[in-house]
A and B are shown apart, each in its own frame.
Chain A
Amino acid sequence: MSKSMSKRTTNALLNTLTWAVVALSLLPILWMVLSSLRNYSDVASGQQLDGGLTFQWQNYVDMWVNVDFFSYFKNSLVICSITTVLATASATCAAYALARFRFRGSDTVSVGISVTQVIPGMLFFLPLYMLYKNIGESWGMTMLDTYHGLIFLYVALFTPASIWIMRGFFVSIPRELEDAAIIDGCSRFGAFVRIVLPISAPGIIATATFIFLLAWDELFFAWTLTSSSSVQTIPVGIRLFIGQFQQRYDLMMAAATVSTLPVLIAFLVCQRFFVKGLAAGAVKG
């Protein structure tokens, strides 16, 4: 009797603890949203909690109006989406090659991928800037301050890490499925596309979400390689904004909230795959 009771108490305690941790963890986010919905003077004096349930949606309107936020938002959305598609595609192909085939140079590529993760952005910022400048001048194709300039960079930056994740997925698919497909008449590429890819859909979605998150988060190159608001992304926008509106915490929080929404939605939609995928890929190391 007492054993099951103490077990129930333990469970109850653990549950409480768990949800306490969840609540604590979410507090900053809640604070962010709350502050974005209060008026300026309340926020500036730290009295947002006293407002009860009056929400000031006007802040959001102000934010879009005062700063060219719509432009930043659109830019981020376009750049990150295209990056996601391209990077997922190239990472998937490369990961398949590394997972299934043993060939000369496969080890070099693997090591190369690891090395790219260790390079500080600062190191190759200037060469990249110069490269883009040269391409613009010699070949007439502007790379600086353009969508495609950033997209190309992002795809190149985020593909290597994604290769690791996808590779973990592919390794866990039994080879016999591709063998069967080949006997059934598929070419190797056909087996890849018709059999392996559909089965790896969860992994692909997880990888794509991951890339989208990384791209959305990128600040340094967006800042240094762009100069006009027709190309600049949200992080740049916020940074400019902070310089301009230092004390307007309410607007800042509104901008912060809006910046978080797209990735939040992307995550919530894909989280089933994401959780399974990232964990599985990582456990396999």
Chain B
Amino acid sequence: MHILPGSIVRKKKFDAFPYLLLIPAVLMMLAVNLTPIIEGFMMSLLKLNQYTLSQYLDAPFVGLDNYRRVLTGEHSPIRAGMTLALRNTVLYTLAVSVLSIVIGLAVAVLLNRNFPGKNLARTLLLLPWIVPSYVVGTLWGFMWQRDVGIINIVLCDWLHLFNERPFWLLGSNSFWAIVIPTVWRGWPVMMLIFLAALQAIPEDQYEAATLDGVSKWKQFLHITLPLLKPIIVIQFMFQIIDNVYSYNIVSMMFGNGAGHPGEWADLLMPLLTRQSFSYWLFGQGAAVSFVMMMIMLIFVGVWMTTFKRSMTSDE
């Protein structure tokens, strides 16, 4: 080996190893995510209806016309349902996220002690999450049935809470008809995560507080919640991202059985899918999707920067 006297400055060797490990994942992400985003954006600038669809990217260029039509409602069936769908989606997403986190946290606190059968309870509580979302839609579609659904049977025949059996799949009740199953399916994971976080809090913080005479509720407010804040913040963001594009439950509960979701249960993705396919308005569908994606990206960006300091939590 040729040895140079004195000091040798070594150039940093190019290390291919990490890149090699990443290649499969990155290639797939590029092919399946990046290209379609770019093409999707291009689509949103084209007039893509049943006549021009076969031309795909060579279809006539209409610039921001799709966006304009969607926003102002000109010749746009998509626009027609969109105000309602947007309102529903925002309310739905917020309701589901908040409820899932609150219930998840409450049950996590409940479970954060030692009692016989704890592991069994935890496993059983996770089962709703395992149930596929389309099954949830189907099942609860059945449960919400006015005459034969179990919910009305319990509420009316057993508990006599209502004189007249309410419609759950119509009217404003239908909002809760989609929120409740989603929460039912969603809070177990929240509970699991919060439970792990709760168990990571050292006992001595609580012991010190008890010695100081602080009540359990105050301990929860002033010790537990601040320590959990980073996790709650992140999970809230994940919940929003998960639920804003919600499709399966609505689609199975209304789409092919009970008909159109109606004013209060129509969400953005079901609406878009329905109208784009029914009216062959893929350009507009792409436009709305693109705008939604931008909104979500901005939301994530703002959320992360606002809470970045609290998420790198100080012990």
Contacts and interface: CB of A to CB of B under 8 A. Distances in A.
Contacts of B115: 11, 14-15, 18
A277 to B, nearest CB: 10
A260 B142 contact: no
Given A101-B18, A122-B273, A285-B230, A219 B248 contact: yes
Contacts of A5: none
Contacts of A103: 15, 18-19
Given A219-B248, A271-B123, A90 B110 contact: no
Contacts, number: 255
A31 B48 CA distance: 45
B71 interface: no
Say what secondary structure dominates the interface of chain A: helix
B36 A217 contact: no
Contacts of B171: none
Interface residues of A, number: 92
A284 to B, nearest CB: 10
A124 interface: yes
B278 interface: no
B184 A216 contact: no
Interface in B205-247: 230-231, 234-235, 241, 245, 247
B82 interface: no
Given A29-B128, A216-B132, A18 B248 contact: no
B309 interface: no
Interface string B132-147: 1111001110110001
Interface of A: 11, 14-15, 17-19, 21-22, 25-29, 31-32, 35, 43-46, 49, 89-91, 93-94, 96-98, 100-101, 103, 106, 109, 112-124, 126-128, 130-131, 152-153, 155-157, 159-160, 163, 188-189, 213, 216-217, 219-220, 234-235, 238-239, 242-243, 246, 249, 252-253, 256, 259-260, 263-264, 267-268, 271, 275, 278-280, 282-283, 285
Given A101-B17, A116-B29, 4 more contacts: A32-B139, A45-B148, A118-B293, A217-B248
